[in-house]
Amino acid sequence: MVINSEFLKSSEEKLRSYLCVQDNVFEMCKKVAMEINNENNQSTERKRIRIENDQEKERAEELSECNVEEDIGIL
């Protein structure tokens, strides 16, 4: 059985090229995943801040209502 060395070289080059493309695709997927994760973290942080602000507003309203009730009780 005779092995064609040109065929082997060509196959090796094709395989190397394919693997290089796969590496590039993998790196792009990693970048996209990291960007999405970062966006999700920022969105989660914004939601947390919004919830905290809403809770502070509710507390302030409750305190304001208590003060009004106390003022009415004094009159």
Residues 26-49: tens digit of each pLDDT:
999 999 999 999 999 999 999 999
Rounded to an integer, what distance in angstroms lies between the CA atom of residue 19 and that of residue 26? 10
| CA-CA-CA-CA torsion sign (56, 58, 60, 63) | negative
Q: What counts of helices (H) and strands (E) characterise the chain?
A: 1, 0
Rounded to an integer, what distance in angstroms lies between the CA atom of residue 17 and that of residue 11? 10
Query: For 56-70, what is the mean pLDDT?
Result: 83
Write down the pLDDT at residue 1.
58
Straight-line distance from the first to the last Cα atom of the chain, in angstroms, rounded to the nearest whole number: 111
Write down the pLDDT at residue 34.
96
Query: For 44-62, what is the mean pLDDT?
Result: 94
Query: For 70-75, what is the mean pLDDT?
Result: 59
Write down the pLDDT at residue 2.
67
